[in-house]
Amino acid sequence: MTTLDSELAPDDQRAQRRHRLRWVVLGVLALAQIMVVLDATIVNIALPHAQAALGFDNADRQWIVTAYALAFGSLLLLGGRLSDLWGRKTTLIIGLVGFAAMSALGGAATGFEMLVIARAGQGVFGALLAPAALALLTTTFTDGEERARAFGIFGAIAGGGGALGLLLGGMLTEWADWRWCLYVNLVIAAMALVGALLFLDEQRSEHRPKLDLPGVVTVSAALFSIVYGFSHAETDGWTSAVTTAFLAAGVILLGVFAWIQTRSQHPLLPLRVVLDRTRGGSYLVVFIAGIGMFGIFLFLTYYLQQNLGFTPITTGLAFLPMIGVLIVGSTVATAVLLPRFGPRWMTASGMIVAAGGMLLLTQIDASSHYASGILPGLVIVGLGLGLSMAPSMQGAISGVSPDDAGVASATVNTMQQVGGSVGTALLSTIASSAATSFATSHAASTAPAQLAGLAAIHSYTTAFWWAAAIFAIGGVVAGVVMRSGKLPATPEGTVAMAH
């Protein structure tokens, strides 16, 4: 008995230390998550300045954004499984160091190719970072109420980080230099790295499954094809043979991947993770929210700067009320409402509220003012996303076994990233064709000086109508797919086994 006690003592000490430092750990993980989410949007504001400095043309410009999305989106599931194999702390540290190194390379870029390679490298290391951070959060907070609060904060960062990236990108571009939009990651990574080394315990799966190489290859190729297909549609349209070929290949490869997972002894993504109704519904909601969210940031940024004459900094500040409401909504949703009502109706109602906010934004015109025409819609969208994003992120990893925590977390990030890529391409294409048809039909009756501005506004409001419909579909999906009732309770020190 004494021997057994002495064997358990170090584990008990580690568990007590982890519990004592849990809120510090949340701060470290939040820094890592902020860095990954920021980089999806922070570079957007710096792009015109980077283009002028490095001398690449408009056709190449999208690759600065797409290279990151392609690498990040296609490798996330592999990153999640590697965090289960290598240990979460080790994977997080490798991700932080690599991300910082690639950011330094991008900041020092002397040409277009160097910048694209650095952005792709950021995506690769981001795919290690993001699932490890979410899995560590899952295993650090085992008490139901505290976990809910932690997920509220983490979900708010995931939802509001894109808008924060626009603000920070504007400030750095306007006050310093576009290169600082990449160098800033060195500061964030350094703080997160010190915190990780000091405060995180190593967490490794007890049973170390072998890596499912056929699964890795097929799902990475499938996600690459889908993200590339949608990115290509943005520039060359939906009828392009390349667009069609890549999207079709992506769908076929996803089918092959699902088939491989049913045959593999050590599947990359065990189907039990996604076939649970609450988790499956949560993944769909995160994907759908990703589609709509990127539309808000993209088109409102254009509208505020080009039509209302906002500077990059004031554009970023304009999104702050939305972030504030999103943070409050996320925290209240997960700490107060989720334990009582479960995720189904909260997530569904949150998506419907977000759709209502988008409908308000469809009313903007050339004479709209920020306070009366934009702020109410932004606040309502922020509230809706706060009510839906954090609970769906928590629902997506509820009840998984400790061995699957990394890959379940990676699937959340994959859904958000692929949703964002799909949303950007889909809504950009819709907006572009809406602008063209408006300009054609109003050419005779509108002065040429006004036509371009009115066509642009029409394209934004068309995109907002579509985003409202997408959010509404998310609400219906949550209501139909998710199970009613509370999330499964999690035993102390572990993650409940999937049923």
Confidence check: pLDDT of 161 > 80:
no
Q: What is the pLDDT of residue 491?
A: 38
Q: What is the pLDDT of residue 472?
A: 95
64-73, 113-122, 206-215: segment of lowest average pLDDT: 206-215
- Copy the structure tokens of residue 376: 């109410």
Cβ atoms of residues 291 and 422 within 8 Å: yes
Q: Which domain holds residue 356?
A: 2-211+268-481
- Highest-pLDDT range among 34-38, 77-81, 355-359, 436-440: 355-359
Q: What is the pLDDT of residue 174?
A: 80
Is there a domain that residue 378 lies in?
A: yes
| Position 488 confidence tier, pLDDT thresholds 50, 70, 90 | low
Number of Cβ atoms within 10 Å of the Cβ of 130: 30
For the chain, give the mean pLDDT: 82
Is there a domain that residue 236 lies in?
A: no
CA pair distance 242, 247, nearest whole angstrom: 9
- Torsion angles phi and psi, residue 433, rounded to 5: -70, -30
Question: Residues 86-144: pLDDT tens digits?
Answer: 888 899 999 999 999 999 999 999 999 999 999 999 999 999 988 888 888 877 877 76
Is there a domain that residue 467 lies in?
A: yes
Is there a domain that residue 23 lies in?
A: yes
- Copy the structure tokens of residue 19: 């519990």
Q: What is the pLDDT of residue 168?
A: 83
Is there a domain that residue 220 lies in?
A: no
Token pair 């699902």: residue: 258
- Copy the structure tokens of residue 239: 């009828």
- Copy the structure tokens of residue 319: 């999104």
Q: What is the pLDDT of residue 91?
A: 92
pTM, two decimals, is: 0.80
Confidence check: pLDDT of 14 > 70:
no
Q: Higher model confidence: residue 21 or residue 304?
A: 304
Q: What is the pLDDT of residue 494?
A: 39
Question: Residues 415-437: pLDDT tens digits?
Answer: 887 888 788 778 888 888 888 88
Q: Higher model confidence: residue 169 or residue 349?
A: 349
Task: List the CATH number of the domain containing 105.
Answer: 1.20.1250.20
Confidence check: pLDDT of 248 > 50:
yes
How many residues appear in the chain?
Answer: 499
Is there a domain that residue 219 lies in?
A: no
CA pair distance 282, 18, nearest whole angstrom: 28
| Position 59 confidence tier, pLDDT thresholds 50, 70, 90 | low
Token pair 């061995």: residue: 403
Domain count, the chain: 1
- Copy the structure tokens of residue 97: 């160091």
